[in-house]
Amino acid sequence: MSLTYLFFLSSGLFLGWSLGANDVSNIFGAAVGSKMLKFKTAAVIASVFIIIGAVFGGSGTTQTLSMLGEVNALAGSFMVALSAALTVYFMAKTGLTTSTSQAIVGGIIGWNLYAGKATNLTVLAKIMSGWVICPLLSGLIAVALYFLLKTFINKMHIHILMQHQLLRLGLILSGAFCTYALGANNIANVMGVFVDSAPFQTVSAGFFTFSPEQILFFLGAVAISVGIFTYSQKVMATIGNHLMKMSPFIAFIVVLSQALVLFLFSSSSLHDALLALHLPAFPLVPVSSTQAVIGAILGIGLLKGGRGINWSIVLRIVAGWFTTPVATLLICFVSLFFLENVFQLKVFLP
């Protein structure tokens, strides 16, 4: 791997770092905030499962993104990832709900427009439908889980202390599942645009054979892990409970709902199995973990009578569907122009 490649890859790694810092705090924030789990335990679990999810389950969503636009020059990939990272950074600074998934889609469309390539509208519609379905589905799953688990706990008369221990175990397992699903679903955002230009060889290690794509995903997942260890604790401390103060029980439901939704939108095996049974399958698209969390919290909030729900957050989600991709598209388009004309770099191949 040359230094030039590493330099261009840095924007994707930066995007991965910010994903690790922000999105993992949605998964383990409430558990760490309520002292059910130590930060170090959460960080180790998250890092291990993000890497496993990214390396072994990240191909499905990546294929969908490359169908939207095959970014075929390294400098172009660099700018798509950088514009997405900058948008996420600035949107987060201004307190707007955003997601790397929406940003990267905007970036790819920006590159398509600049390179004069056609954007596959069917794929775009599929991806956008995922963004709308994601919070709605997460809310529905959270409501169903809340009913089921509450009835179970009330009927079983489990001692509070045992409930606590089971809940702690549940938070660890659901957190691990959720970080696995996050890695599988969101690695496409971080590394997807670099897949076509990956310079790696296939590597065999014991029983496993790693494709160039998987090695690239591994690097992206390591960047996400660095984000988790270096910055997510701070994010957990500052925004951990800003949506709604969650009890460990609610946190468990929210994390599990988020995990299920991310899994549904990223599992190729489940997708194929549903299609084989002639059932409608979930599109394999990268979705926003933050919006899945918000959907789950809103679902439970509405179930409890809708008190204390911050409706402006709902508006922010809807606003995010438009503002994030549009902002990234504009940044990407303008930056590609500079990259090509000022720095004389090839940002696309005809």
CB closer to another protein, 153 vs 270: 153
Contact segment (CB under 8 A) with another protein among 32-40, 73-81, 87-95, 123-131 equals 32-40
Closest CB 164 distance from another protein, rounded Å = 5
* In contact, 61 and 266? CB cutoff 8 Å: yes
Q: How far is the CB of 251 from another protein (least distance, A)?
A: 10
Q: How many whole angstroms separate alpha carbon 209 and alpha carbon 117?
A: 34
> For another protein, which stretch binds (CB under 8 A), given 31-39, 56-64, 107-115, 177-185?
31-39
Query: Judged by CB under 8 A, does residue 36 bind another protein?
Result: yes
Nearer to another protein among residue 93 and residue 155 (C-beta): 155
**Interaction between residue 342 and another protein (CB under 8 A):** no
Pair of tokens at residue 96: 């707007």
As measured in angstroms, the least distance from the Cβ of 137 to another protein is: 23
Name the nearest CA neighbour of 102 among 120, 115, 83.
83
| 237 touches another protein by CB under 8 A | no
Size of the site for another protein (CB under 8 A): 19
Nearer Cβ to another protein (284/300): 300
Select 81 or 251, whichever has its Cβ closest to another protein: 251
Q: Cβ neighbours of residue 250 under 8 Å, at least 6 residues apart?
A: 30, 146, 297, 300
CA atoms within 13 A on the CB side of 83: 32
Q: Is the backbone of residue 158 left (phi > 0), alpha (psi -120 to 50) or beta?
A: beta
Closest residue by Cα to residue 236 from 7, 61, 23: 23
Stretch of 14-22, 28-36, 66-74, 230-238 contacting another protein, by CB under 8 A: 28-36
The span of 30-38, 84-92, 212-220, 285-293 binding another protein (CB under 8 A) equals: 30-38
Cα-only R_g, the chain: 20
> Which C-beta is closer to another protein: that of 164 or that of 271?
164
* CB of residue 49 to another protein, shortest distance in Å: 16
- Burial 57-95, CB ≥16 within 10 A → b, else e: bbbbbbebbbebbbbbbbbbbbbbbbbbbbbbeebbeee
Residues in 244-283 that interact with another protein by CB under 8 A: 247-250
DSSP state of 201: P
Beta-sheet pairing, 208-210 with 203-205:
antiparallel
CA 34 to chain centre: 24
CB of 228 to another protein, least distance (A): 22
Cβ atoms of residues 289 and 260 within 8 Å? no
Residue with smaller CB distance to another protein, 31 or 137: 31
Candidates 34-42, 67-75, 191-199, 314-322 — which segment interacts with another protein by CB under 8 A?
34-42
Site string for another protein, 150-169 (x = CB under 8 A): x--xx--xxxxxx-xx---x
Residue 193 per-residue DSSP state: G
Q: Which residues pair with 73 in a beta bridge?
A: none
- Using the minimum distance from each CB to another protein, give the nearer residue, 6 or 162: 162
- The answer to whether residue 35 forms part of the interface with another protein (CB under 8 A) is yes
**Where does this chain touch another protein (CB under 8 A) — which range of 115-123, 127-135, 146-154, 336-344?**
146-154
Binding of residue 93 to another protein (CB under 8 A): no
**Rounded Cα gap, residues 276 and 293, in angstroms:** 30
Q: Which residues are near another protein by CB under 8 A? A: 34-36, 150, 153-154, 157-162, 164-165, 169, 247-250
